[in-house]
Amino acid sequence: MNNNLTYITTPKNAILRALSLFLLLFISSLQVQAQDDVRATIDSTSILIGQQINYTIEALANDGEAVIFPEGQTFSPLEVIESYAIDTASSTSARMKLIKKYGLTQFDSGRYVIPKQKVIIGTRTVETDTFLIEVNNVILDTVNQGLYDIKPIIDLPRDYSNWWKYLLWIIPVVVAISLFLWWLLRRNKKQKEAEQYIPPFEQAMATLTALDSKNLIAEAKYKEYYSVLTDAIRRYYEEKVYDRSMESTTDELIARLEMERASGHIDFSKHTIASIKDIFKRADLVKFARVNPPEGKAQADRLAVEDIVKQTREALPPPTVEELMMQEDYREALSRKRKRKLWLSGIGGILAILLLATGIGIAIKGYSEVKDFVFGNMTRELAEGNWITSEYGIPSMVVSTPKVLTRQEVPLPPEAQGKIEATAFGWQTFPANVTIGVYQFKFPKGADVKVEQLISSQLAMFEANGFSADILKSEKFATPNGAEGIKTFGSGSQVIDQEKGTVDAGEYAFITFQAENVIQQLFISWHDEDPYGKEIAERVMQSIELQAKEKEEN
């Protein structure tokens, strides 16, 4: 028996084998061609932590073919920190070369492989080569490089980003007060000009001159004409002869003038009194009986009144020193009264505008919003201001607070010194509406430390300083990064003044974490009636994160 195997090939089998061989060679040529169409390069295979690697993909495409490069975090375990825009370059062939660059990095040391990246050219999908990257640690020279002192705390500038909200209230109030003061000063100026003292004779002559400028006789307005004419005499006599001249009847006034003449107080002639009586009687007929005067009589009475005023001034005795002093005192008193009225009106008007603006603000925003705007609210400004996120202690506790916590001295009993390491960071408002403290205790390895005993000793210390815990509760607590601890919280009271017996109520919370021989704590207290203090406390407790001990040592 022949052990050699002999294959008999028929024409059909030969054709199939030839076709298979052709397809295999064709596919291989396509793959080689596809691999030639895409090329990936990197500028470095060894970097330090955080340094950037430039990853470049070059693709050749025919005219009209779409090219799709990788997008997103497809380079994991390396991170894409920047994806550059696609660039074009000329090619030796008729095809176009497209260039795509990526910026990659890694923040942990080790050896990493950049996986294959898929590039789609038309209907084809081409994969790039893999690359091995070595990420090295940064070597710190702690021998030759000196250490620097801790930099002092820098006060950040106040946040004025919400200044426009204050202007929405201040500008309308300022405009209203300005308009009111302008109106008040303008009115006072007019009153001052109106109250400016004019001697009786000059005032009477000015009234007669003003009467001449009016066209009352041509318009047959005799009633108004004679009213002005007789009032000029009455006002003059009101100050110089008889202080009830304006309200007296014609007969009463004539009788008073005759009495003054008979007593010798005023050197009136009988002709002057007769002229006054004749003019006043005619004026009464015009005003009450509507009897028009004879033609030309109104002009004659006007001239007669002017002569009567002049004759009266000559007949009156000169004013005494006492009269002049009384007039001066009267003018000064009138000026003081006007100034006092101006001040009272101004202050009253401004207060009314402020009260109105306050009422509108309360109706729109509410009482607490207006109160905080006018008088300020320290805890609200802290709650709504810029916060600071810092790390405290080693291993560190990350906490966000309104202000940075400063290092505090921790007094230890003599028996604990040298055995326990204690660090503390704290901050509180003044007055103490909000108090925040971060504590860390390191015990000897193998020491049996109970968190409950530590909290009890801390509460006892607080009570020795005047704080008493009225309610004490305890529950589990977890940070956003998964660290578990115990939350001890409740309400208490603080003695502010022992002599007066002043007590301030508030709430407090201990967040305690224990890992091996290290205990980390966050303490915070706030007023129980202050909503913004509670908001600060909740935000601080929600921001707690614990850094791993291995990371700190690294």
Q: Where are the domains of the chain?
A: 13-136, 200-317, 381-553
3-state secondary structure of 11: helix
Share of the chain above pLDDT 90, in %: 8
- Average pLDDT for 453-464: 74
Interatomic CA distance for residues 160 and 221, integer angstroms: 70
Whether the per-residue pLDDT at 545 is higher than 50: the answer is: yes
pLDDT band at 496 (very low <50, low <70, confident <90, very high): low
Interatomic CA distance for residues 414 and 38, integer angstroms: 74
pLDDT at 168: 77
pLDDT at 21: 38
pLDDT at 103: 93
- Average pLDDT for 263-283: 83
Count how many Cα atoms sit within 13 Å of the Cα of residue 412 in the half-sphere of its side chain: 15
Which range, 11-20, 332-341, 383-392, is most confident? 383-392
pLDDT at 119: 92
- Name the phi and psi angles at 154, rounded to 5: -110, 125
Which range, 221-230, 317-326, 372-381, is most confident? 221-230
pLDDT at 9: 33
The structure tokens listed for 126 are: 């081409």
Whether the per-residue pLDDT at 54 is higher than 90: the answer is: yes
- Average pLDDT for 68-91: 86
> What sign does the dihedral 482-488-490-495 (CA atoms) show?
negative
- Pick the closest to residue 56 from 17, 87, 93 (CA basis): 87
Query: What mean pLDDT value characterizes the chain?
Result: 78
pLDDT band at 551 (very low <50, low <70, confident <90, very high): very low
* CB-based contact 284:301 (threshold 8 Å): no
- Pick the closest to residue 345 from 357, 355, 337 (CA basis): 337
- Average pLDDT for 132-145: 77
Whether the per-residue pLDDT at 268 is higher than 80: the answer is: no
Pick among 3.40.50.300, 3.10.180.10, 2.40.160.20, 2.60.40.10: CATH of 13-136: 2.60.40.10
DSSP character at residue 489: E
The structure tokens listed for 297 are: 């009589």
pLDDT at 207: 85
Give the lowest-confidence range in 65-74, 80-89, 367-376: 367-376
Give the lowest-confidence range in 88-97, 100-109, 268-277: 88-97
The structure tokens listed for 467 are: 């704080």
Continuous segment of H or E residues that includes residue 168: helix 163-194
Q: What is the CATH number of domain 381-553?
A: 3.40.1000.10
- Average pLDDT for 488-512: 74
Interatomic CA distance for residues 459 and 512, integer angstroms: 14
Given this chain, do its domains 13-136 and 381-553 carry the same CATH topology? Answer: no
- Does this model's pTM top 0.85? no
Continuous segment of H or E residues that includes residue 343: helix 321-365
pLDDT band at 497 (very low <50, low <70, confident <90, very high): low
Counting other chains too, the contacts that 349-357 makes at CB distance below 8 Å and 24 or more residues apart are 349/177, 349/180, 349/181, 349/184, 350/177, 350/180, 350/181, 353/173, 353/176, 353/177, 353/180, 354/173, 357/169, 357/172, 357/173, 357/176
Whether the per-residue pLDDT at 134 is higher than 70: the answer is: yes
Whether the per-residue pLDDT at 554 is higher than 60: the answer is: no
pLDDT at 117: 92
Per-residue model confidence as pLDDT tens digits over 191-207: 776 656 667 777 888 88
Interatomic CA distance for residues 131 and 504, integer angstroms: 67
- Average pLDDT for 210-239: 85
Task: Give Cα separations from 57 to 38, 77, 118, 202, 248 (angstroms).
Answer: 7, 18, 10, 106, 116
Interatomic CA distance for residues 405 and 425, integer angstroms: 5
Whether the per-residue pLDDT at 16 is higher than 50: the answer is: no
Whether the per-residue pLDDT at 22 is higher than 50: the answer is: no
